[in-house]
Amino acid sequence: MTTSSADTGNGRSFLPVDEARAAILDGLSPIAGWERVAVRGALGRVLAEDIIAPYNVPAHDNSAMDGYALRADDLAADGETAFAVVGTAFAGRPFSGIVGAGQAVRIMTGASIPQGADTIVVQEIARREHDRVFVPAGQKKGQNLRHAGEDLAEGGVALAAGCRCGPAELGLIASLGIAEVAVRRRLRVAILSTGDEIASIGRPLGPGEVYDSNRYTLFGALSRLGCELLDMGVVPDRPEALEAAFRDASQAADVVITSGGVSVGEADFIREMMARLGEVAFWKLAIKPGRPMAFGRIGDAVLFGLPGNPVAVMVTFYQFVQDALLKLMGVSPLPPVERFPARAGFALRKQPGRVEYLRGRLQRDADGLSVALAGAQGSGVLRSMSEADCFVVLPEDCTAVQIGDTVHVQPFHGLV
């Protein structure tokens, strides 16, 4: 991969990607408000308070394996040791006696360790003959034993506030016997598309019109995040219509996301509207696709003005907007940006001075991981996003990529 530090002639008119992301996140704080929900209703929600373990997990010393519980001091240093089997311990039905010298108890996974025993020998290596079991040498005291509080100690933080609950978290909460949890309220997000050329699906296209895909892309992305969605539809390029839509959206939602209307065209009123109704930090970003993007506030609502091209909408959403929404939702810490190296299965030339996001497909072969381009790379070719499974991220100073060069990829899994 060829790199260059040459000035593109734009000076600081194009804000670097990392600076834009940091500036957005630094100005945001989690929304106020919470509610209490049943454990199953907490999936995808953000905890508003710590989950405290009310008791040790596990609650008692127990066996990690099916086998035999015995005293390590009774084991011979060499050769087999014979033990008399004096009972059985089941999970939920413990052995009530005391394990004495030369004795063993048949034990099942999860069963409480009988009094007197301190070691578990797995059944696969033990030899059972009637009421006796023979144990080979080489066993270690305390093996295959899970101690009380090993997973969670009573009074300890099981899950911290800011955790976004997935299936494992639901199971952990349930394992503590907790039926309801406090979660932050859902983030309310209004979306709208702008442009006289944008047509809603369900009717024939007029001359020069295109169907609106951006609201459906954003619907999918926001629904996966668990946001409460307000769809404002398509707003024509008329100042009075835009102003009314912006006022309504900002009063009803925590965040307003628009697509289209942030470039330099004559009908692009979004920047003007944002400046008049609130505060705006409009950036020309050093990025492809998605260079024109607006960020600011209208009243108490945060506003993102995304580009109009479908791929540019997805790139800017996942590189800038998604983490901002997670921070507003109260997620802490934010998930790291995952990138890893791969061999380029393509060659291209690139203009320096901007980060470029290509759509790629990962492949694994005898030489390791490689990445190929997923179809045409135009910012209006949404099919390439559907066929891709990663972004190929080319840094600002890159000027060219040759086949076999090392590039960095950002996988869609966990992102999109």
DSSP secondary structure string, 178-193? --EEEEEPPPEEEEEE
Residue 79 inside a domain? The answer is yes
Q: Shortest CA distance to 294 belongs to which of 242, 331, 335, 336?
A: 242
Whether residue 99 is predicted with pLDDT greater than 50 in this model: the reply is: yes
Q: Cβ of 416: how many Cβ atoms within 10 Å?
A: 18
Q: What's the whole-number mean pLDDT along residues 95-108?
A: 97
Please state, for a pLDDT cut of 70, what percent of the chain lies above it.
Answer: 94
Examine the fold and report which residue of 300, 329, 358 is the final residue of a domain before the chain moves on.
329
288-312 tens-digit pLDDT: 998 888 899 998 999 999 998 999 9
* Residues 208, 323 within the same domain: yes
Give the domain CATH number at 92.
Answer: 2.170.190.11
Region 269-285: mean pLDDT is 75
pLDDT attached to residue 5: 44
* Domain total in the chain: 4
Answer yes or no: do 230 and 278 share one domain.
yes
Give 211 or 184, the one with higher predicted confidence. Answer: 184
Is 303 in the same domain as 379?
no
Say if 250 falls within a structural domain.
yes
**Top-confidence residue, 6 or 153:** 153
Give the gyration radius of the chain's Cα atoms: 30
Q: Are residues 210 and 293 in the same domain?
A: yes
In a domain, 213, yes or no: yes
Is residue 321 assigned to a domain? yes
Q: What tokens were used for 186?
A: 């859902």
Q: Residue 263's pLDDT band (boundaries 50, 70, 90)? A: low
Measured CA to CA in angstroms, residue 319 lies from 20, 22, 249 at distances of 10, 11, 23
Both 223 and 265 in a single domain? yes
Cα-Cα-Cα-Cα torsion 119, 124, 127, 130, nearest 10 degrees, comes to 90
- Rounded alpha-carbon distances, angstroms, from residue 137 to 74, 80, 213: 11, 6, 69
Per-residue pLDDT, averaged over 350-363, amounts to 95
Q: Does the residue 416 lie in any domain?
A: no
Last residue of a domain, one of 275, 297, 329: 329
Q: What is the mean pLDDT of residues 19-23?
A: 93
Q: What is the pLDDT of residue 238?
A: 82
| Same domain assignment for residues 305 and 194 | yes
Domain that includes residue 11, residue range: 2-33+186-329
Segment 136-160 shows an average pLDDT of 94
Same domain, 198 and 277: yes
User: What is the Cα–Cα distance from 408 to 412, expressed in whole angstroms?
Assistant: 13
Residues 364-415: pLDDT tens digits?
988 899 999 998 888 777 888 999 999 999 999 999 999 999 999 999 987 7
Q: What is the rounded (10 degree) CA torsion for 137, 142, 144, 146?
A: 170
Last residue of one domain, picked from the residues 126, 146, 166: 146
User: Cβ of 76: how many Cβ atoms within 10 Å?
Assistant: 12
Measured CA to CA, the distance from residue 17 to residue 361 in angstroms comes to 23
CA distance 185 to 178: 20
- Same domain assignment for residues 178 and 253: no
- Judge if 113 and 204 occupy the same domain: no
Q: Are residues 125 and 20 in the same domain?
A: no
> Are 162 and 292 found together in one domain?
no
Angle, helix 270-277 to helix 239-252, in steps of 10 degrees: 50
> What pTM was estimated for this model as a whole?
0.85
163/173 Cα distance (integer angstroms): 12
| Tokens coding 44 | 């995808």
Q: From CA 299, how far away is CA 247, in angstroms rounded?
A: 9
Instruction: Dig out the tokens for 129 from the structure.
Output: 């003959």
Average pLDDT for the chain: 91
pLDDT digits (tens, 9 = 90+) for 39-66: 999 999 999 999 999 999 888 999 999 9
Specify the pLDDT at position 264. 53
Q: Do residue 294 and residue 201 come from a single domain?
A: yes
Q: Is residue 335 part of a domain?
A: no
Per-residue pLDDT at 267: 44
Given a cut of 50, is residue 342 above it in pLDDT? Answer: yes
Q: Is residue 110 part of a domain?
A: yes
Backbone angles phi and psi of 274, in degrees to 5: -60, -40
pLDDT at 93 over 80: yes
What share of the chain in percent tops pLDDT 90? 72
| Residue 334 in domain | no
CATH of the domain at 209: 3.40.980.10
CATH of residue 366's domain is 2.40.340.10
Give CA–CA dist 193/236, Å, rounded.
9
Residue 224 pLDDT greater than 90, yes or no: yes
